[in-house]
Amino acid sequence: MTAGQLRSSLEAAELFAAVAWARYPGLRSGSAEARRFYRRHRDAFRTAPAVDLGAIFVRNEGIAGNALKRLRAGRPFEEVARQFSIDPELKHREGRLGWTVPGSLPGELADVVKDLAVGEVSAPTAGGGGVWVFKVFGRRGGEVTPFSGVRDELVARLTARKRAAALQEWLREAGGRVEIPAP
């Protein structure tokens, strides 16, 4: 799809939505309908599991082994990351990547991170042109977002869907009898 085709498609979708809202202003979804939808599709409101991740990135296994030795000797992760990481951003952030969804990492790195317990440090793992040592500082996610946190957006989306369906039905029934003047 070209940029022009994408633009045209987006403009058509916006126009369709605007016509649906103008033609059916009283057609709305309410909280009760949104709650029923929420209950039926509860897993769709589950947050992705994430880890508060630290990383040390070095050139080779030997250097990674030295970093790991220091960590096992009790040196703080932040200190070891500043000393060993070759990535300037990791060095500056003392190895802290922050909250990360393991699935967003390349395959071999995601596999290592997803199995680490909180506080655990990984074995050196090759990937991305170097070697990584990870530490998980925390875990969260996998919880279902409460209805109160999604109610307004859900009502708006269900209302838009309901109006779009009504407009589609009206257009189908009208067939070729409706003329829409060009701007």
| pLDDT by position in tens, the chain (length 183) | 788 888 888 888 888 888 888 888 999 999 999 999 999 999 899 888 899 999 999 999 999 999 999 999 999 999 999 999 999 999 999 999 999 999 899 989 999 998 899 999 999 999 989 999 999 999 998 889 999 999 999 999 999 999 988 888 888 888 766 666 655
Neighbours of 66 (CB within 10 A): 14
Residue 157's contacts (CB-CB under 8 Å, 6 or more residues apart) are none
Q: How many CA atoms lie within 13 A of 151 on its CB side?
A: 8
Domains and CATH numbers, the chain: 26-46+145-174 (no CATH), 50-140 (3.10.50.40)
What pTM does this model have? 0.62
CA torsion 114-115-117-118 (nearest 10°) is -10
